[in-house]
Structure 1
Amino acid sequence: MQKLETATELEYAFLFTLRKVNSINPEGFKPFFINMPIDPYIKGNYRSRRLSRFTVSGNHLIKLPHGYLFQSKEYNPLVGDIKREFAELDDGLIELDIFTNLVLAFSDSCKLHPEAEIGVHQIRTICSADNLGNPAPEGIHQDGTDFIGIFSVNRDNIQGGETHLYTAKKENPVFSKVLNPGELLLVNDHDFFHFTTPIKPQYDTQGSRDVFVLTSPSLLS
């Protein structure tokens, strides 16, 4: 669990948790972030994305039929009220034990109902010397779900990408941290807004930030 150092952070300790998932070696995920489909709903071609939804049965995952992501403009002023469609996660990724471990870690940590639907968003954000990558182009926001998990897979040649949690949009963050590979941040979406700062390269070549974002309910229909 993230060490909480201030009185304000201690007040909210039960509403978010940062943990290292020791049963997962993020190296196994890396090949599946190469050549992902570009997110067509965001201008700039700097974000790639796949999305699937699951339920948990014991220690196994049940993949649910293809669906469409939908958020209202109340939660996503940039692309809200649009029925968005993304390619499913690669079958080879879903078959990995570490992928099952990731979804189970999210479900167990959030104490989800056994029939709860979980959306798994696979996201790569890239940047170059000429263009910043923006992991959260909609700004400080909530997703309109119950629980969110952000799992860091890889940070390659980047600066920035610090994740912040807020109790209100105009308040200072109560949590600020760069998520390192293998770390999972769990957040109650009803109580916090979240944001991740833009990324830029450390050196004069392309950089990338790879994460899984898990949501329950999945926001898919």
Structure 2
Amino acid sequence: MRQAAATLSRMPPIPDFTALGERLRRDGFAFLEAPVTSALLGAPAALGDWPAFAASWNDLAPDTYLAAQGRHRRRRHATFAVGEDGEILRQPHQPHFQSLAYNRLQGDIQRWFEPIEQAVAEGASLQRILAFSRDLFGALAPQARRWHVEVHQFRIEALPEQAGEPTPEGMHRDGVDYVLVLMIDRHNIASGTTTILAPDGTELGSFTLTRPLDAALVDDARVFHGVTPVSPLDPSQPAHRDVLVVTFRAA
């Protein structure tokens, strides 16, 4: 079940890679509608395993850390490194860590999640998304010689008696340099609006990712971001919001 975008502040089209970099430098964030993201990624040819990639969200594991606080989310996680030569290499499985300064809900905890499946990590779609992110963020920060990259598969489940929370920590920064949020699928949900704030609380933009390949790019040092809870359109049917989150931090 699809619904129209509830876009509160629509930005003009971004015609190419260079213009996207200029937008991020100027505004600290960018909203990409699916046709733009598709063109930038070279889809469909460069995303040859997309059906299997999207289907892998059906095999995510419960987030036990969040479940302990009465919230529902499924996820998998992987870490990569980008070297000086630009090569993207998966790293041994390791915990995800954020300090309390960035995550008031689950900071200062080493959180171990189930790893992203090897076939997904090595597949054409994720490899293309990582290469695109490397090229874009590398151009924005040419002084960064190496990158620590984390990849998160998220499924936010909306229940009849409880809305799903894409960002249960509220408006936040992730403690990295750059963030890519890519819509994979949304089914039977309302809301899920992303809001971008300046450090002083001024709203800079607001938009809703509704279609596969809708995307948000964030300069994490400059702006805060958060997503409103999602609720089922039809309470009798399953409801979820699937996104890929990729973070880059200069190493």
Q: By the TM > 0.5 criterion, same fold?
A: yes
Partner SS for 1:174: strand
1:191 deviates by 0.5
Is residue 175 of structure 1 aligned with residue 205 of structure 2?
yes
Deviations 1:124-163 (A, max 9, x none): 1011221100001101111111111111111111111111
Equivalent position of 2:117 in the other structure:
90
Equivalent position of 1:52 in the other structure:
78
Q: Which residues of 2 match residues 52-91 of structure 1 at below 5 A?
A: 52-56=78-82, 61-91=88-118
Equivalent position of 1:7 in the other structure:
none
Equivalent position of 1:150 in the other structure:
181
Equivalent position of 1:33 in the other structure:
57
Work out which of the residue numbers 195, 205, 208 in structure 1 matches 2:240.
208
**In the aligned structure 1, how far is the partner of 2:100 from the partner of 2:150?**
19
Residues 167 and 226, structure 2, Cα contact 8 Å, conserved in 1 = yes
Flag structure 1 segments of 5+ consecutive residues without an equivalent: 5-9
Write out the 4+ residue segments of structure 1 that deviate beyond 6 Å after TM superposition.
none
**In the aligned structure 1, how far is the partner of 2:230 from the partner of 2:163?**
6
Q: CA RMSD in A?
A: 2.5
Residues 119 and 218, structure 1, Cα contact 8 Å, conserved in 2 = no
1:95 deviates by 2.3
Work out which of the residue numbers 4, 10, 21 in structure 1 matches 2:37.
21
1:79 deviates by 0.5
Residues 53 and 218, structure 1, Cα contact 8 Å, conserved in 2 = no
Name the TM-score, length of structure 2 as normaliser: 0.77
Work out which of the residue numbers 133, 137, 160 in structure 1 matches 2:168.
137
Flag structure 2 segments of 5+ consecutive residues without an equivalent: 1-9, 14-22
**In the aligned structure 2, how far is the partner of 1:16 from the partner of 1:218?**
18
1:190 deviates by 0.7
What percent identity do the matched residue pairs reach?
28
Q: Look up the equivalent residue of 1:17 and give its one-letter code.
A: A
1:102 deviates by 0.9
Q: Which residues of 2 match residues 107-146 of structure 1 at below 5 A?
A: 107-111=134-138, 113=144, 115-146=146-177
Equivalent position of 1:165 in the other structure:
196
Partner SS for 1:216: strand
1:45 deviates by 4.9
Equivalent position of 2:126 in the other structure:
99
Instruction: Give the total of aligned pairs.
Output: 213
Name the TM-score, length of structure 1 as normaliser: 0.86
**In the aligned structure 2, how far is the partner of 1:59 from the partner of 1:143?**
23
Q: 1 or 2, which has the higher helix percentage?
A: 2
Deviations 1:72-96 (A, max 9, x none): 1111110111111111101111121
1:169 deviates by 6.2
Residues 69 and 83, structure 1, Cα contact 8 Å, conserved in 2 = yes
1:40 deviates by 1.1
Residues 29 and 153, structure 1, Cα contact 8 Å, conserved in 2 = no
1:16 deviates by 1.6
Residues 56 and 104, structure 1, Cα contact 8 Å, conserved in 2 = no
